[in-house]
Structure 1
Amino acid sequence: MFEVKARVLELSDFWRDHAAENEAAGQITDEVAAKLRSTGVMRMLQPKRYGGYECHPRDFFETLIELGSRCSSTGWVAGVVGVHAHELAQTDPQLQEEVWGENEDTWVASPYAPMGRAKPVDGGYIFNGRWSFSSGTDQCQWVMIGGLVLDAEGKPDGAGTRHFCLPRGDYEIVPDSWEVMGLRGTGSKDLIVRDAFVPAHRVIDQEEIIAGTAARAIGLDNPLYSIPRQTMFSGAITAGTLAICQGVLQAYIDHSRQRVSRLSGSTSQDPNSLAVLGEAAADIQASIQHFLWDIDRVYDLAAQGETISKDLRIEVRRNQVNASARAVQAADRLFVNTGGAALHTSHPIQRMWRDAHAAMNHMMNTTAPTYVQYGLNLFGHELPPTARY
Structure 2
Amino acid sequence: MQTAAAVNGTTATAPQLQVPGRDELVARAAGLRARLWEDAAESDRERRLTAGSVAALTDAGLMRLMTPRRLGGYEADIRTLLEVASEVGRGCGSAAWVTGVLNAGNFVASLFPREVQDEVWSLNADARTALVLGMPARGVEHVDGGVRITGEWGYVSGSLHADWVGVLVAVPTESGEAVVHFALMRADEVEIKDTWHFAGMRGTGSNTVVATGVFVPERRLLPYAPLLNGETDGLVDPANRYRNSLVGLFSIGLLGSLIGGATAAFDFVRAAAPNRPAAGSKFPNQAESPTLQLDLAEAATKIETAKLLAAKIADTADEAAYAGEFADVLTRAAARQNSTRVAQLCREAVDLLMTAYGSSAFSETNPLQRIWRDVNVGSRHAGFGMGIPAQLYGRALVGKDPRDISLLV
TM-score, length of structure 1 as denominator length = 0.94
Separation of aligned partners in 1, 2:108 and 2:319: 19
Instruction: Indicate the larger mover: 66-75 or 300-309.
Output: 300-309
1:329-381 alpha-carbon deviations (Å, 9 max, x no partner): 12111112211111200101110000011102211111611001111121123
Listed as ranges, the matches of 1:91-110 within 5 Å are 91-110=112-131
Separation of aligned partners in 2, 1:209 and 1:308: 12
**Mapped pair 1:287 → 2:320:** no
1:142-196 alpha-carbon deviations (Å, 9 max, x no partner): 100112123569x7x243x321111122110113x21111011111111111111
Separation of aligned partners in 1, 2:233 and 2:95: 29
Q: Does the CA-based 8 Å contact 1:142-1:167 persist in structure 2?
A: yes
CA drift of 1:39 comes to: 0.9
Distance 1:378 1:328, change over 3 A: same
Letter in 1 for 2:333: I
Counterpart of 1:148 (choices 170, 189, 207) is 170
**Mapped pair 1:251 → 2:268:** yes
Partner of 1:321: 340
Partner of 2:152: 130
CA drift of 1:238 comes to: 2.0
Listed as ranges, the matches of 1:259-274 within 5 Å are 259-262=276-279, 263=281, 264-274=283-293
Q: Does the CA-based 8 Å contact 2:111-2:235 persist in structure 1?
A: no
Partner of 1:179: 197
Partner of 2:66: 45
CA drift of 1:89 comes to: 1.4
1:114-162 alpha-carbon deviations (Å, 9 max, x no partner): 3422222221111011111111211111100112123569x7x243x32
**Mapped pair 1:8 → 2:26:** no
Listed as ranges, the matches of 1:304-319 within 5 Å are 304-319=323-338
Letter in 1 for 2:118: E
Question: What secondary structure, in the 3-state scheme, does the structure 1 residue paired with 2:392 have?
Answer: helix
Listed as ranges, the matches of 1:1-389 within 5 Å are 2-117=23-138, 118-151=140-173, 157-159=177-179, 161-175=180-194, 177-214=195-232, 218-222=236-240, 224-262=241-279, 263=281, 264-366=283-385, 368-383=387-402, 384-389=404-409
Letter in 2 for 1:122: D
Q: Does the CA-based 8 Å contact 2:32-2:88 persist in structure 1?
A: no
1:79-100 alpha-carbon deviations (Å, 9 max, x no partner): 1111222222111111111111
CA drift of 1:69 comes to: 1.7
Q: Does the CA-based 8 Å contact 1:215-1:221 persist in structure 2?
A: no
Separation of aligned partners in 2, 1:344 and 1:207: 46
Separation of aligned partners in 2, 1:385 and 1:374: 11
Separation of aligned partners in 1, 2:233 and 2:335: 20
Question: What secondary structure, in the 3-state scheme, does the structure 1 residue paired with 2:208 have?
Answer: strand
Question: What secondary structure, in the 3-state scheme, does the structure 2 residue paired with 1:366 have?
Answer: coil
Separation of aligned partners in 2, 1:94 and 1:66: 34
TM-score, length of structure 2 as denominator length = 0.89
Letter in 2 for 1:18: D
Question: What secondary structure, in the 3-state scheme, does the structure 2 residue paired with 1:49 have?
Answer: helix
Question: What secondary structure, in the 3-state scheme, does the structure 1 residue paired with 2:59 have?
Answer: helix
Partner of 2:7: none
Partner of 2:18: none
CA drift of 1:108 comes to: 0.9
Question: What secondary structure, in the 3-state scheme, does the structure 1 residue paired with 2:315 have?
Answer: helix
Distance 1:318 1:310, change over 3 A: same
Separation of aligned partners in 2, 1:221 and 1:95: 19
Question: What secondary structure, in the 3-state scheme, does the structure 1 residue paired with 2:63 have?
Answer: helix
Separation of aligned partners in 1, 2:28 and 2:233: 30
Q: Alignment identity in percent?
A: 25
Separation of aligned partners in 2, 1:246 and 1:358: 16
Question: What secondary structure, in the 3-state scheme, does the structure 1 residue paired with 2:53 have?
Answer: helix
Q: Does the CA-based 8 Å contact 1:373-1:387 persist in structure 2?
A: no
Distance 1:367 1:65, change over 3 A: farther
Instruction: Indicate the larger mover: 108-117 or 210-219.
Output: 210-219
Q: Structure 1 stretches of 5 or more lacking a match?
A: none
CA drift of 1:385 comes to: 4.4
CA drift of 1:387 comes to: 4.3
